[in-house]
Amino acid sequence: MIELKSAGEIAAMREAGKVVAAVHAAVRERAGIGVTLKQLDEVARTVIEEARAGASFLGYHPSFGAMPYPGVICTSVNGVMLHGLPTPYRLRDGDLISIDCGAYVDGWHADGTVSFTVGHPRDEDLKLIKVAEKTLAAGIEAALPGGRMGDIGHAMSAVGRGAGYGMQNDFGGHGIGRAMHESPFVPNEARGGRGLRLRTGLVIAIEPSLMAGGGDAYYMADDGWSVCSGDDSRSVHVEHTVAITDDGPVVLTVP
């Protein structure tokens, strides 16, 4: 079932979105050479606690994870595309990292991901991040009342594929509200003009991921959570929680 949200409910989700954005800012600030992924998770825990919010990911156990999620953020480094665990790995100069965070306030969830580099960046990583952000922006722009779900994936693949990057459609976006993962599924790639009619009150997480190698293959790492590009090429994931309103798309996961 797809639940449309009222303006009041969207306002509640906006509060959760502010917490997610605060986590992104604090983690970005702390991330540096020699800092562990676990330390970044601890920074995120503190921000969520101080905001008196809840951590959507902690203990979450979807079918695609081997065990309940042990952290409050996903920390996906270099060839890890999605759901990287906050391990004792120490960040190295030039690492490319995506930070995915979910938080809830008064029972309403928001989910968002940012990507950035640590230390001296590689030019090709900066380009990958820029294209991923453009891909997400194109998806958000297509999230219009009266449009179709396929318009979002169509707009995103035009940017990501157009730049020569690989994409996958098994892990895409999702409805979000009282639960972090709700219907409908939001494909990263789709045919325009097809699929569910987009309506005011629909709130979705849009989350494209790109693989620098250009292939679509990926694999699950031995840790049972990390989803890696098939060729171990560098990959990037970005995400916003977006409300579809009469005034167009409204991004909830911003400060």
Segment contacting ligand MF3 (CB under 6 A): 20-28, 59-67, 152-160, 213-221?
Answer: 59-67
108 binds, among ligand MF3, Co ion, none (CB under 5 to 8 A by kind): none
Rounded distance between C-alpha atoms, residue 55 and residue 173, angstroms: 19
> Is 182 near ligand MF3 (CB under 6 A)?
no
Q: Is residue 185 close enough to count as binding ligand MF3 by CB under 6 A? A: no
x/- letters, 102..141, toward Co ion (CB under 5 A): ---------x------------------------------
Does 48 bind ligand MF3 (CB under 6 A)? Our answer is no
- At 150, the amino acid letter reads G
From the CB of 82, what's the least distance to ligand MF3, in Å?
7
CB-based contacts of 222, cutoff 8 Å, min separation 6: none
Under the criterion CB under 6 A, does residue 74 sit at the interface with ligand MF3? Answer: yes
- The answer to whether residue 60 forms part of the interface with ligand MF3 (CB under 6 A) is yes
Q: Which of 69, 116, 165, 218 binds ligand MF3 (CB under 6 A)?
A: 69
Give the one entry of Co ion, ligand MF3, none that residue 89 binds, where binding means its C-beta sits below a cut-off of 5 to 8 angstroms depending on kind.
none
In three-state form (DSSP H/G/I as H, E/B as E, the rest C), the secondary structure along the chain is CCCCCCHHHHHHHHHHHHHHHHHHHHHHHHCCCCCEHHHHHHHHHHHHHHCCCEECCCCCCCCCCCCCCCCCEEEEECCEEECCCCCCCECCCCCEEEEEEEEEECCEEEEEEEEEECCCCCHHHHHHHHHHHHHHHHHHHCCCCCCEHHHHHHHHHHHHHHCCCECCCCCCEEECCCCCCEEEEECCCCCCCCCCECCCCCEEEECCEEECCCCCCEEECCCCCCEEECCCCCEEECEEEEEEECCEEEECCCC
Our finding on whether 89 is near ligand MF3 (CB under 6 A) is: no
Quick one: 119 or 254, whose CB is closer to ligand MF3? 254
Q: Tell me: is residue 239 an annotated ligand-binding position.
A: yes
Residue 104 within binding range of ligand MF3, rule CB under 6 A? no
List the binding residues for substrate: 83, 181
Which residues of this protein are in contact with ligand MF3, per CB under 6 A? 57, 60, 62, 65, 69, 74, 83, 100, 102, 111, 171, 174, 205, 207, 239
Which residues of this protein are in contact with Co ion, per CB under 5 A? 111, 205, 207
